[in-house]
Amino acid sequence: MPGKVRTLIVDDSAYMRVVLKDMLESDAEIEVVGAAKDGLEAVADVGSLKPDVVLLDIQMPRMDGIATLQRIMKENPTRVIMLSAMDKKDDQLPIKALEMGAVDFISKPSGPVSIDIVNFTERITDIVKTCASARVEALQRARDAHPHKLTAMKKQATKNFRSIVIAASTGGPRALETIFAALPSDLPAPIFIVQHIPEDFSVSFARRLDSAKGPRVVLAIDGQRVERGVAYLAPGGRHLKLKWKGAMTLQTQLDDGAPVNFVKPSADILFESAADCLPNQTLAVVLTGMGSDGMEGARAIKKSGGKVIVQDEQSSIVFGMPRAVIDEGIADEVLPLEEIPRAIIEFLED
């Protein structure tokens, strides 16, 4: 996006509005174009100021952040980042916000009026700049109904122990929910997921994916026996790997090593592990997200005889991760989000 990222701050605390403005404008690439004290002011300001990004609190008088987000996405669709301490009371609120069209969410570190939020300046400014490249059209489409549930798998598809590994970042929660809502619950293969998400939201996000009524979704734990038809979500702050225990038992392994590609968990770590444990039997799926995490891992899966598909640009909220795979010539297929569940089934039935 050319020029500075024009940002609107929405928070009912006058103190937080001043602090957030100072934080954001400490970055030369960001300009604060307005500061609203509640949702009603925010809706009006979005219409008149046309910001690139809205930094939106959840807990506000007159109109809360969820209702404000709903109005903004209906009247003037815009890139919205939720900034809130409310997730500690209702851990489904951030996931609900993403479902309604928010690009990302940031948890205030110590309550609604956070005196130490300045310690997170770099992280918040990075998220704002990242979200400025999100495709508004894709955000609007992400709010549409899920595709129909696909039919159950053919029984003969279970003869090989195949696996699916998925990487996602910005825009990923909604994309993953779309995929799981379409997949049958009796999928004859395990799924392993790396979604760049804060540790605080890992449990609630696993529950949210599980509620899509596709394959069962659990938060991965160390030393867990891998089962067909179960999806294992890497917890925030831990890398997820696979390992064999003996010749017959595949297990999950959590790793507390350093971030890779500036993220933890890293899709590269998971993908490379899957390539080692299940050569020629793994499908890698790279979804919407900023950066290049998953690219080197996809290369390893392709080299081991597996297959790689990526989400296309039109349906991606941020096309960074899929583009990195495409630019390296690794992708076997580039597909709209709604076609990815069927591609997963076709891989398992092949």
118-122 mean pLDDT: 87
180-196 mean pLDDT: 94
Q: Which of 114, 169, 304, 315 is catalytic?
A: 169
Residue 2 has pLDDT above 60, yes or no: yes
Q: What is the pLDDT of residues 246-287, one digit of tens each?
A: 888 999 999 999 999 889 999 999 999 999 999 999 999 999
Q: What is the CATH number of domain 155-349?
A: 3.40.50.180
Confidence category of residue 194, pLDDT binned at 50, 70, 90: very high
Residue 90 has pLDDT above 70, yes or no: no
- Domain 5-133: which topology? Rossmann fold (3.40.50)
Residue 117 is predicted with a pLDDT of 83
- Cα distance between residue 111 and residue 39, in whole Å: 19
Confidence category of residue 184, pLDDT binned at 50, 70, 90: very high
Same fold for the domain at 5-133 and the one at 155-349?
yes
Averaged pLDDT of the chain:
90
Residue 262, CA distances (Å) to 20, 196, 267, 290 in order: 24, 10, 11, 11
First to last CA, the chain: 42
Residue 188 has pLDDT above 70, yes or no: yes
- The residue whose two tokens read 């696909």 is 150
Residue 348 has pLDDT above 70, yes or no: yes
293 annotated active-site: yes
169 annotated active-site: yes
Residue 152 has pLDDT above 60, yes or no: no
146 annotated active-site: no
Q: Which of 196, 239, 315, 316 is catalytic?
A: 196
Q: Which of 12, 57, 64, 293 is catalytic?
A: 293
Residue 164 is predicted with a pLDDT of 98
Residue 120 has pLDDT above 90, yes or no: no
Which pTM does this prediction carry?
A: 0.89
- How far, rounded to the nearest angstrom, does the alpha carbon of residue 155 sit from its chain's CA centroid? 32
In the chain, what are the domain boundaries?
Answer: 5-133, 155-349
Task: Find the helix packing angle between 295-303 and 320-327, rounded to 10°.
Answer: 40
